[in-house]
Amino acid sequence: MDCLKSWPEPIVRVQSLSDSGIQVLPERYVKRPADRPSSLDLPTGEINIPVIDLQKLYSDDNSIGETTLNLISDACRHWGFFQVVNHGVSHELMTRTREVWRAFFHLPIEDKQVYANTPATYEGYGSRLGVQKGATLDWSDYFFLNYLPQSMRDQNKWPSLPPSCRKLVAEYNEELVKLCGRLMKVFSINLGLGEDNLQQALGGEEMGATLRANFYPKCPQPDLTLGLSSHSDPGAVTLLLPDENVSGLQVRRGHDWITVKPVPNAFIVNIGDQIQVVSNAIYKSVEHRVIVNSMKERVSIAFFYNPKDDIIIEPSKELITEDRPALYPPMTYKEYRIQIRIKGPSGKSQIESLTSQR
């Protein structure tokens, strides 16, 4: 894929644009009217995605709280997005990880440029997703890194500054892999599969994991743009650590966009495209996007738990019936991802194009 070797245009750091004090949003960031945030978007807090306490999942050794399972089942079927509290990850670790990334983005530009990324792997410091020349860009910078499989992990590609960054990120990722494993068991049970089936279908012990720290600088005309365009996450499960003080994530619900109000010390959990495939669309990955504002910058950390690259992923045999035939063709995650690397965020068009082929 030649087009994935380098960016089609010189990269401009959104943070530098923001810091330069411009009052007018550059043309490249101006979205089509239909894609802009709307005054009709439901205000923060009016409706929120479900908040689920995981305490009961852990309280007894073997008996998993039935109610908690049901709450998660409802959230997966009807929302595709929920927040979890009492999830077992140290709040202090969460705060330190968020703040180390905030500090990274506030380093001098030279320190960050060392990690400038390319579309071949996306690993490193980046300012765009997708390689389509002339595309409208999103108002954000990010740092993307590989954690699993171990063979893809190269800590030299992770920020060496602040000095605690690499160690903290490794510790944080280790905890989040565990939490994803627990959630996958719950999803598997709730789908009526054996508790390990879902994970097995996605690569078992060899599942992948990546981390993307997102930085949304202050924006001179936030009504005209987005921090991250509408997309669904391509992998299995995402755990998002939002900025507690600044909301920005919007989740699609029918024709509405709901602005998520982060609950203190919670993770935002969402279903990715590959669980939609394995569950044969009993669970759906849900579109989301990020709005920005002129008053406050925002930092968020997205942890993506992904299928093994080269196993064939298809709807689980147990979830295919005469009434509900397999909705998706078998495909590896590697094949699926290439399209996304070329196109960048594009709503749910990627997974929907698979169904319409049939």
Site membership for ligand OGA, residue 214 (CB under 6 A): yes
Picked from ligand OGA, Ni ion, none, the partner binding residue 300 (CB below 5 to 8 A depending on kind) is ligand OGA
- Counting contacts by CB under 6 A, is residue 242 touching ligand OGA? yes
Residue 214 interacts with which of Ni ion, ligand OGA, none, CB < 5 to 8 Å by class: ligand OGA
273 binds Ni ion (CB under 5 A): no
Q: CB–CB of 16/144 below 8 Å?
A: no
Choose the one of ligand OGA, Ni ion, none that binds residue 13, judging by a C-beta under 5 to 8 angstroms depending on kind.
Answer: none
Of 246, 259, 276, 291, the closest CA to residue 76 belongs to 276
Q: Is 233 in the site for Ni ion (CB under 5 A)?
A: yes
266-289 in b/e burial notation, b at 16+ Cβ within 10 A? Answer: bbbbbbbbbbbbbbbbbbbbbbbb
* Comparison of 185 and 212: residue with beta carbon closer to ligand OGA: 212
DSSP line for 135-167: PPPPS-EEEEEEEESGGG--GGGS---STTHHH
Least separation in angstroms between CB 358 and ligand OGA = 27
Say whether residue 288 binds ligand OGA (CB under 6 A): yes
Q: Write down the least CB distance from residue 153 to ligand OGA, Å.
A: 20
| Cα separation values, 328 from 200, 214, 334, Å | 18, 31, 16
Comparing CB distances to Ni ion, the nearer of 138 and 233 is 233
- Residue 200 has, within 13 A of its CA and on its CB side, a CA count of 7
- Within 29-58, which residues bind Ni ion (CB under 5 A)? none
Residues in the chain: 358
CB nearer ligand OGA, residue 301 or residue 327: 301
Q: How many CB atoms lie within 10 A of CB 1?
A: 10
Residues that bind Ni ion (CB under 5 A): 233
